[in-house]
Amino acid sequence: MFVLACCALIALSVNAAEISWEAEKFAKKKGESIKVYKAGDKVKGTPDEQIDGKPIPDRAVSKASGNAFIGVDNGVATDGSWVKYEFAVPVGGDWYFWGKVIAPSVADNSFHWGIDIKDEEAKKADDDKNNIWDFFEKEELRAYYTTDWVWFRLNSRSGKPFPGLELDQYINFGDTYDPTPLNLSAGKHTFHLIDREDGTFIDALFATTSRAHRQSPTAVETTDKLATLWGDLKQRR
């Protein structure tokens, strides 16, 4: 068993505690649809979906933190595959989670996830144990689709069991900015990431006790800072 508490970066500062880990460094895996890919591997496009008026092509994912990433390629049937991460937080309290994700279209932009659930409870479902993690699902966000890596806050489509809806997690939509944390006790926890849509990939996960929307999760970043926060991408448009 690979215990992330030993290998994830843990940082403590005056203002925040932080942890991070590579998506391919899971403790356990079930199913076949989620696979590990190497930087430079080619993934399939989505010709019936477009970015800036152009069909999404087959392409190589040339950069990845740790030179590897995981996900479900286009055309692969999702089968309820999941990976489980074991991690530890150094302090209890509110933790804000992010994922470094490629989600280029409305047909390729979600996983399921669950926190501190049993293996048999990890399902491709939106229920009392599992959430849908959306990436630019809301209509207001779809202008920002890209084939680049982007850091997304953890969210839930239905608002249960995790109450943080997608638009709640980002600034500049309405007058409120209210990102939702996970409240965790100090010590060991588990995070299940479960397939939902093909064409979606994840490279790394990051968590911090800082609520600030400009918190930059660079602990497992590539050297050329390829990935961006959603707010950075919004400013470019």
User: What pLDDT sits at residue 169?
Assistant: 82
DSSP string, 118-137: -GGG--SS-SSS-EEEESS-
User: What pLDDT sits at residue 170?
Assistant: 73
Res 31 pLDDT > 80: yes
Interatomic CA distance for residues 119 and 76, integer angstroms: 23
pTM score of the predicted model? 0.87
User: If DSSP codes are grouped into helix, strand and coil, which group holds residue 11?
Assistant: strand
Residue 233 — φ and ψ, nearest 5°? Answer: -65, -40
Interatomic CA distance for residues 208 and 56, integer angstroms: 33
Partnered with residue 99 across adjacent β-strands are 152, 205
Instruction: Note the pLDDT tens digit of each residue in 212-228.
Output: 745 443 334 433 344 55
User: What pLDDT sits at residue 211?
Assistant: 86
Largest CA distance in the chain: 49
Domain boundaries, position 124: 4-236
Angstrom distances, CA of residue 94 to CA of 9, 16, 21, 85, 123: 18, 11, 18, 19, 25
Nearest to 154 by CA among 143, 141, 139, 169: 169
Give the total number of structural domains in the chain.
1
User: What pLDDT sits at residue 178?
Assistant: 76
Instruction: Note the pLDDT tens digit of each residue in 40-66.
Output: 999 999 999 999 899 999 999 999 999
Tell me the average pLDDT across 34-39. 98
User: Do the strands 68-72 and 35-38 form a parallel or antiparallel pair, or are they unpaired?
Assistant: antiparallel
Interatomic CA distance for residues 150 and 158, integer angstroms: 22
User: What pLDDT sits at residue 229?
Assistant: 56
What is the rounded (10 degree) CA torsion for 199, 204, 208, 210?
Answer: -60
Res 237 pLDDT > 50: no
Question: Please, which pLDDT band fits residue 4 given cuts at 50, 70 and 90?
Answer: very low
Which letter does DSSP use for residue 179 in this model?
A: P
User: What pLDDT sits at residue 171?
Assistant: 62
Nearest to 237 by CA among 148, 141, 171: 141
CATH code, domain with 55 = 2.60.120.260
Tell me the average pLDDT across 68-92. 98
Interatomic CA distance for residues 164 and 160, integer angstroms: 8
Interatomic CA distance for residues 184 and 215, integer angstroms: 19
User: What pLDDT sits at residue 228?
Assistant: 55
191, 113 contact by CB (below 8 A): yes
